């Protein structure tokens, strides 16, 4: 039934000459890659630091859980299961759950969870964007309905349960130390698990692996690095940097402008240059962990110190509960 649905969408694409292909590709792209971190950065650096940090954590946790499910179930892509399915664009790796739906739900769901009750139009827009993202992955032909449904449910669960976890952490001094400890423990357990488990080794008629587990494990290493980087970054900024977003509009624009440029250089120039020169695995883990530490600790430390020098006084938040 799931593949029949994709074939029906494929007939619609063919009948309309692919008129909506570019639209749904763009919708899909907004929920993955550099865009998912851009919103978190802007919130964190200039608008609402707590919401930005919350979004960083939600994206990292949901992506980590997504990789756990992908590498556990090892579900093949729709066109492998049915050669009659011809996607608008191909995608690598395993199919279940949909990574774009997971990160889309984390992004849009976090904004919905934080602001949906007070700003209903914004909440409605976030809900529409999530539904469009889910449908786009079916329309393009790279995921089944169950792939996107489970992916979105996972991202939303992390976003809404994260609110309770955050409140629990803030309720008692010292609990914030659990975040990097739990993040590090989960990272180690996950890396051991994906390294020792077995994977399907199926070949096509040409004798090529349908999905190379070694390549998929590299994606797992990268998202494990993101989880560790966010866990450490959140704690270190909260305890030692403590920059404030209560600054002038010009300062906020400057922070975001320079920071987004830094993010783009790291993602689109530095990481490709390094990964093109060496094999991934632990290198990918280090690069993604370092990226989140750069965005959450190193860059905020730099701009907060420079702003303090320029104004002649520090611009810091009060030490959080439990900080000594």
Full-model pTM: 0.90
- Can you give the pLDDT at residue 280? 64
Using alpha carbons, select from 33, 102, 41, 71 the residue that is nearest to residue 230.
41
- Kindly state whether residue 226 falls inside one of the protein's structural domains: yes
Name beta bridge partners: 243. 316
- Kindly state whether residue 267 falls inside one of the protein's structural domains: yes
- Kindly state whether residue 242 falls inside one of the protein's structural domains: yes
- Kindly state whether residue 322 falls inside one of the protein's structural domains: no
In which domain, by residue range, is 227 found?
A: 2-311
Least confident residue range of 41-50, 253-262, 313-322: 313-322
- Can you give the pLDDT at residue 274? 85
Using alpha carbons, select from 207, 190, 168, 175 the residue that is nearest to residue 70.
190
Tokens standing for residue 299: 């860059």
- Kindly state whether residue 24 falls inside one of the protein's structural domains: yes
Query: Which ranges constitute the DSSP H helices of the chain?
Result: 2-15, 21-29, 34-42, 49-73, 78-81, 99-115, 120-140, 145-170, 178-196, 213-236, 249-265, 271-277, 282-293, 299-311
- Kindly state whether residue 317 falls inside one of the protein's structural domains: no
- Kindly state whether residue 300 falls inside one of the protein's structural domains: yes
Domain count, the chain: 1
- Kindly state whether residue 151 falls inside one of the protein's structural domains: yes
- The per-residue pLDDT for range 186-218, each reduced to its tens digit, is 999 999 999 999 999 999 888 888 999 988 899
Q: How far apart are CA 20 and CA 24, in angstroms?
A: 6
Name beta bridge partners: 209. 203
């Amino acid at each position: 039934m799931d593949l029949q649905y994709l074939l029906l969408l494929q007939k619609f694409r063919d009948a309309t000459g692919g008129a909506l292909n570019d639209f749904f590709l763009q919708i899909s792209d907004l929920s993955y890659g550099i865009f998912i971190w851009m919103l978190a950065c802007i919130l964190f650096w200039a608008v609402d630091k707590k919401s930005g940090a919350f979004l960083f954590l939600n994206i990292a946790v949901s992506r980590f859980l997504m990789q756990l499910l992908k590498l556990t179930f090892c579900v093949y892509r729709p066109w492998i299961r049915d050669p009659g399915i011809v996607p608008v664009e191909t995608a690598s790796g395993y199919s279940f759950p949909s990574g774009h739906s997971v990160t889309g739900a984390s992004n849009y769901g976090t904004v919905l969870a934080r602001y949906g009750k007070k700003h209903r139009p914004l909440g409605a827009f976030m809900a529409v964007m999530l539904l469009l993202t889910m449908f786009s992955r079916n329309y393009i032909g790279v995921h089944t309905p169950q792939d996107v449904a489970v992916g979105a449910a996972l991202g939303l669960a992390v976003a809404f349960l994260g609110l309770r976890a955050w409140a629990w952490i803030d309720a008692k001094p010292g609990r914030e130390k659990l975040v990097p400890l739990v993040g590090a423990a989960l990272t180690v357990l996950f890396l051991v698990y994906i390294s020792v488990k077995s994977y399907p080794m199926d070949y096509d008629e040409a004798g090529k692996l349908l999905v190379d587990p070694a390549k998929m494990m590299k994606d797992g290493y990268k998202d494990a690095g993101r989880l560790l980087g966010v866990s450490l970054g959140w704690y270190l900024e909260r305890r030692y940097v403590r920059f404030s977003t209560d600054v002038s509009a010009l300062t906020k624009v400057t922070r975001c402008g320079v920071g987004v440029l830094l993010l783009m250089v790291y993602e689109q120039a530095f990481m490709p240059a390094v990964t093109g020169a060496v094999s991934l695995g632990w290198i990918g883990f280090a690069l993604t962990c370092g990226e989140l530490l750069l965005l959450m600790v190193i860059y905020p430390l730099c701009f907060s110190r420079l702003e303090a020098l320029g104004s002649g006084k520090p611009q810091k938040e009060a030490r959080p509960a439990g900080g000594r």
